[in-house]
């Protein structure tokens, strides 16, 4: 413009991808919306948070060195635009260390989060939320106890993990702790393995997501109990239970008769619950995305939307869902390595298959659509 300064053009080209990522690819059928697809992979001795573009190419990554037996999990962009990633050997029950790293889009490490209070750190969820001039962290921790499982087909003294919901201050002090040991009976463990007596250690509750409703209550998914529970953040009282042996809702409109081993339970703006139903208890087993409308006065739960893959997919563990503002839904069949965006009518917009060196098929925990890497935006 007037008075401006002319300068030579300068071109910049990024370096080659690290060797560990050169064989990682996202094969696409159709075109995702503009922006990026965030997930995580572990290759050799490095755990990565990485973002794919519309063509399936890797356009951003941040790698962390992992120890023996460790993996990356739960890559997320937090509401302030920063990123978090779990690194550790835990699947939710092993007596091993783990931690969440917080970092910027430019790769700068900011903080490390762990459960503390003599608890192991669970890899399934970390929420960072603003409170006044500071922030709070919400995550799971777990401890191991010897319990008598003979009535369930286990040993008389068997090591079992049980989880706590933790709210931590910015300094790491625990402000709230709610233990599953105090609120659930072991007989509610519907997802227990058939060979229980042969296991060295496993968890009986397996929580995998936390959501905070507008009133401040916690909506928590306990996969191995097949329960979604709403918890008072002050008293710890369970306001309601949806699913499992202590289900309090009458189910309407669900042709498959409910859900089980569910993941990524999210509260939509209309009050509905959207989540990934792994479908371990369906006959035959089949995974899907589901949306339920809960009436807590009439105590009914009505299935108002579902997506079942045209060729049924059974993903017995992990998985995710994300609702866009235009009504589309991103469904992550994580154990099958498949991600699918579908319109409200169930038509497929695009589908992708993740592949990386290692297990076949490649698995991922969650996948998220990000309009931007540099500022948090709703897709």
Q: How confident is the model over 234-247, as pLDDT tens digits?
A: 999 999 999 999 99
Indicate the Cα dihedral angle 148, 149, 154, 159, nearest 10°: -60
Least confident range from 60-64, 132-136, 361-365: namely 132-136
* 212 touches 229 (CB < 8 A): no
Which backbone phi and psi does 186 adopt, to 5 degrees? -65, -20
Instruction: Give the mean pLDDT of 14-43.
Output: 95
Mean pLDDT across the chain: 95
Instruction: Give the mean pLDDT of 156-160.
Output: 93
d(CA 305, CA 146) in angstroms, rounded, equals 42
pLDDT digits over 272-299, tens only? 999 999 999 999 999 999 999 999 999 9
Instruction: Give the mean pLDDT of 22-50.
Output: 96
Length, in residues, of the chain: 379
Confidence at 15, pLDDT banded by 50, 70, 90: confident
d(CA 186, CA 77) in angstroms, rounded, equals 35
- The yes-or-no verdict on residue 198 having pLDDT over 80 is no
216 or 2: which leads in pLDDT: 216
pLDDT digits over 71-119, tens only? 999 999 999 999 999 999 999 999 999 999 999 999 999 999 999 889 9
Instruction: Give the mean pLDDT of 170-196.
Output: 93
Would you call 150 helix, strand, or coil by DSSP?
helix
- The yes-or-no verdict on residue 369 having pLDDT over 80 is yes
How is residue 335 annotated by DSSP?
G
- The yes-or-no verdict on residue 130 having pLDDT over 80 is yes
The percent of residues in the chain predicted with pLDDT above 70, rounded, is 99
pLDDT score at 364: 96
- The yes-or-no verdict on residue 167 having pLDDT over 90 is yes
pLDDT digits over 295-317, tens only? 999 999 999 999 999 999 999 99
- Kind of pairing between the strands at 36-43 and 338-342: unpaired
pTM for this structure? 0.95
Task: Return the structure tokens found at 143.
Answer: 């401890």
pLDDT score at 4: 78
């Amino acid at each position: 413009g007037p008075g401006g300064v002319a300068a030579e053009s300068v071109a910049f080209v990024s370096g080659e991808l690290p060797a560990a990522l050169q064989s990682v690819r996202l094969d696409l059928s159709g075109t995702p919306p503009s922006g990026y697809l965030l997930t995580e992979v572990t290759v050799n001795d490095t755990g990565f948070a990485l973002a794919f573009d519309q063509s399936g190419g890797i356009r951003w990554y941040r790698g962390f060195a992992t120890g023996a037996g460790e993996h990356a999990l739960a890559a997320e962009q937090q509401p302030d635009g920063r990123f978090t990633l779990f690194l550790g050997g835990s699947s939710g029950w092993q007596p091993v260390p783990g931690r969440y790293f917080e970092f910027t889009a430019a790769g700068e490490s900011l903080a490390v989060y762990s459960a503390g209070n003599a608890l192991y750190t669970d890899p399934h969820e970390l929420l960072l939320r603003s409170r006044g001039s500071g922030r709070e962290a919400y995550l799971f921790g777990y401890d191991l106890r010897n319990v008598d499982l003979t009535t369930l087909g286990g040993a008389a003294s068997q090591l079992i993990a049980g989880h706590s919901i933790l709210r931590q201050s910015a300094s790491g002090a625990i402000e709230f702790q709610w233990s599953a040991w105090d609120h659930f009976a072991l007989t509610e463990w519907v997802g227990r393995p058939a060979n229980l007596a042969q296991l060295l250690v496993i968890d009986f509750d397996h929580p995998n997501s936390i959501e905070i409703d507008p009133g401040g209550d916690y909506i928590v998914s306990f996969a191995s109990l097949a329960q979604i529970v709403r918890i008072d953040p002050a008293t710890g009282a369970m306001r309601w239970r949806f699913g499992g042996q202590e289900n309090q809702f009458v189910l309407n409109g669900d042709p498959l008769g409910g859900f089980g081993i569910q993941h990524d339970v999210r509260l939509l703006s209309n009050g509905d619950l959207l989540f990934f139903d792994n479908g371990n208890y369906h006959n035959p087993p089949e995974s899907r995305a589901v949306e339920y409308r809960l009436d807590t006065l009439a105590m009914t739960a009505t299935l108002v939307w579902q997506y079942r893959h045209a060729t049924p997919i059974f993903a017995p563990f992990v998985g995710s869902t994300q609702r866009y503002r235009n009504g589309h839904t991103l469904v992550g069949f994580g154990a099958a390595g498949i991600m699918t965006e579908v319109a409200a009518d169930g038509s497929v917009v695009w589908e992708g298959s993740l592949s990386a060196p290692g297990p076949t098929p490649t698995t991922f925990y969650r996948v998220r659509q990000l309009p931007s890497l540099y500022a948090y935006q709703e897709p």
